[in-house]
Amino acid sequence: MSLPLSGITVVSLEQAIAAPLASRHLADWGARVIKVERPDGGDFARAYDKANNGLSSQFLWANRSKESVALDLKTSEGRDSLERILSTADVWVQNLAPGAAARMELDGAAVLSRHPGIVAADLSGYGSTGPYRDKKAYDLLVQCEAGFVSINGSAEQAAKCGLSIVDIAGGMALLQGILMGLLRKARTGAGLHFETSLFDAIAEWMSYPAYYAMGSGAAPERSGLRHATIAPYGPFRTGDDKTIFFGIQNQREWRAFCSRIMQDDSLADMALFKDNPARLHNHEALRLLIEKRLAAVTADEALALLDEASIANAQLNDVEGFIGHPQLVQRGRFAEVDSAFGPQRVLLPSLTISGVSPVMKAVPAPGQHTAAVLAGVAA
């Protein structure tokens, strides 16, 4: 079976994480992705760290299987070269600083006007309109503006997400738009211009707390490792002084938990705990009851009991535990790609397509493919 995106050419004037992550997902499934970089060092994400034998871990994450072309777009020669490349492309992506692409007529609308069959995508911090349209944006800053930080962390202190959650949200919104544009292009032959922003992407993810606040008059409280609106759902200590996690999603599970784990059927109908709002209101009293029961068993025994009762549960892993997780290791979810810094171990894409293996090619060096790409689009 052929790769789903075989024959698609993507040209991306990209930097940082959001746009590169979207185009890497396209490359994973067969698209040819030409990454346009500055001649003076390329994408600044190359210098975020040197964790992988000199290669940036974040650049490794978002840039395998691409071709890197170094162009000075401030020169007529660089612009002419880019236009030749664009004449062969199905997709154009740019996520330059506010106003930079428009000044060079490389925003999506301008590129679509010159190349009517292209899917042209603009990714910005806050969008092309509104009072924040000219404001620079990075992941943590948008987490703050969007209110995410205010609902994350413990009751005592707010916290940012440990992942680049805004960049990931923006990249996935961008990917969705590109795929919809390609579907439209396949059906009609017409190109498409669309834009998305980091702020709009995380705003979609913030819908639930926003709706909760609009409906109840108050945002969900910061609750640390405990769920803000469901109980019991979070961490609990066991008899061997370990922490396990589990969550009760409905009354059927609550009754099973009371019967199989707590060994007290009467608990299910107790006024303090009879439904989720009551359990949430009395979550601390409920935690004490649960941990009193779990003090009689080890973490492994508690997890086994929860599995037997069909109650979702987890142990608390660190990153090293995740890397060695049997669900990854035994299913062969790691692969190896090449780079100028030597072989790199990476995770496979999250999709599994029957009969198709994803593309797992090298992480490019800056400008590595300039000559070859330009030779293929010679005037």
Contact 317, 329 (CB under 8 A): no
Report pLDDT for 137. 95
Q: Confidence class of residue 378 from pLDDT cuts 50, 70 and 90? A: confident
Instruction: Tokens 């994803």: give the residue.
Output: 358
Residue-level length of the chain: 379
Beta 9-13 vs 32-37: how paired, if at all? Answer: parallel
Global confidence as pTM: 0.92
Report the first-to-last Cα separation within the chain, whole angstroms. 35
Contact 337, 363 (CB under 8 A): yes
Smallest CA-to-CA distance from 188 within 198, 197, 180 is with 180
- Could you tell me the sign of the dihedral formed by the alpha carbons of 142, 144, 147, 152, in that order? positive
DSSP state of 362: P
**What confidence tens digit (pLDDT) does each residue in 137-173 have?**
999 999 999 999 999 999 999 999 999 999 999 999 9
- How far, CA to CA in Å, does 226 sit from each of 143, 239, 277? 20, 20, 15
Report pLDDT for 379. 62
**What confidence tens digit (pLDDT) does each residue in 307-333 have?**
999 999 999 999 999 999 999 999 999
Contact 316, 245 (CB under 8 A): yes
Q: Confidence class of residue 1 from pLDDT cuts 50, 70 and 90? A: confident
Smallest CA-to-CA distance from 71 within 80, 60, 58, 63 is with 80
Contact 328, 334 (CB under 8 A): yes
Report pLDDT for 375. 94
Residue 44 has pLDDT above 70, yes or no: yes
Q: Domains of the chain, with CATH numbers?
A: 9-206+326-376 (3.40.50.10540), 233-316 (3.30.1540.10)
Q: How many CB atoms lie within 10 A of CB 15?
A: 21
C-alpha span between 261 and 312 (Å, rounded)? 13
Q: Edge to edge, what strands does the sheet with 192-197 contain?
A: 67-70, 32-37, 9-13, 91-94, 119-124, 192-197
C-alpha span between 24 and 29 (Å, rounded)? 9
Question: Six-digit token pair at 20?
Answer: 């590169």
Q: Confidence class of residue 102 from pLDDT cuts 50, 70 and 90? A: very high
**What confidence tens digit (pLDDT) does each residue in 134-143 have?**
999 999 999 9
